[in-house]
Amino acid sequence: MVAGDTSTYKVNFKLAPLGLRILTGPDGNHVVSEITDEKGQAASNDVRTNDVVCLVDTDAVDSMSHDQLIQHLFSKTVDFSMTFRRATESRENLVVTFDKGAMGLMTEGKNGEIRVRNLIIGGQAHSKGVAIGDIVSGVGGKALYELLQEPDNTEELTNLLKERMNQDNPIVLNFNGLGKKMIAPKAKKQHAAPPAASPKKEDELASFKKLMIQGLEVLKIHNKPGPFGAKSRAQILYMTADLKQILCGASKNVATKKSFNVADVKSIKPVEKQAKQFSILTSSGALTVEVPSENARNLIMQRLAQLIREQKQK
């Protein structure tokens, strides 16, 4: 973010869509790049684009990668808080002049606008104060909807900039407005990407529910090896038909001490330095298991956390 006075604020989120999108910049900052729902939780709490995520509950996120942060958020099974940092310096109506050569930014077109998706650290855009989440609103003071057939078409914008670069003139880009209210023709604003297919997500979760009731083959990791030195044992991780309990045992028909109520689950976390393992943490104990691959672990963690959140909301 551009240097300036900063302030932090805390937002309490419920287990529901947050209404924002987060991207991680070359400096490691996790930046709010888009408010995806004008009536969502983020917008209702005045979270804004370019705000930086500092904490999730009391956990600092500055050392987390983007994937680790998203996994951390997905692991939440109870309401949680996020602390953000905001630069008080206004980012409206920025005008940046680029010399000939690479600009050092990547863009993404969506919902009738083009936003900065990422920056090359030390590149022109980064050095001149452009931030992830900034909206490319014009070229040389002229609005994009007047220059492009589709105001969210990044290929059109790239071709336009190449053409102007070939004329050996500096490129001037406007970000976050032109200094006056811009109202694009309605016909130009109808290129919004279709929303993600919720039926598909529902089908995926329904399939995962069936899988958990049927049972997954896992390796149960023992914190204290048994008398024969075994650190793990093949087990079945499964849920009861009403999805109110999680169990892990030699088979579904054998009594087991590893039985937890879904309502008692606090979080689901990856095991540090163990790419295939994750732990289910509850108020009465913990269960650590290993699955065949890191991708399988990440998918199971994501779906299981989603399933638990759904059950808790009932």
CATH of the domain at 148: 2.30.42.10
Picking from 165, 189, 213, the residue at the C-terminal end of a domain is 189
- Within a domain: residue 1? no
Q: Mind giving me the DSSP string for 276-306?
A: TEEEEEETTEEEEEE-S-HHHHHHHHHHHHH
pLDDT at 278: 92
Pick out the chain residues at pLDDT < 70. 1-6, 87-90, 179-202, 223-231
Q: Match 């290129």 to its residue by tokens.
A: 191
The tokens describing 22, both together, are 């987060």
Report DSSP state, residue 76: B
Domain that holds residue 296: 198-313
pLDDT at 256: 86
- 242 DSSP β-pair partners: none
Structural domain total, the chain: 3
Picking from 56, 87, 118, the residue at the C-terminal end of a domain is 87
Picking from 54, 87, 120, the residue at the C-terminal end of a domain is 87
Phi/psi at 230 (5° precision): -75, 125
Query: How does pLDDT run across 256-265, given as a tens digit for each residue?
Result: 888 999 999 9
- Within a domain: residue 226? yes
Query: How does pLDDT run across 126-183, given as a tens digit for each residue?
Result: 888 888 888 999 998 898 888 888 888 999 999 998 888 887 778 899 998 886 544 4
Domain match, 79 and 182 both: no
284-307 as b/e, with b when 16 or more CB fall inside 10 Å?
eeebbbbbeeeeebbebbbbbbbb
> pTM to 2 decimals?
0.45
d(C-alpha 150, C-alpha 185), whole Å: 11
Domain match, 98 and 54 both: no
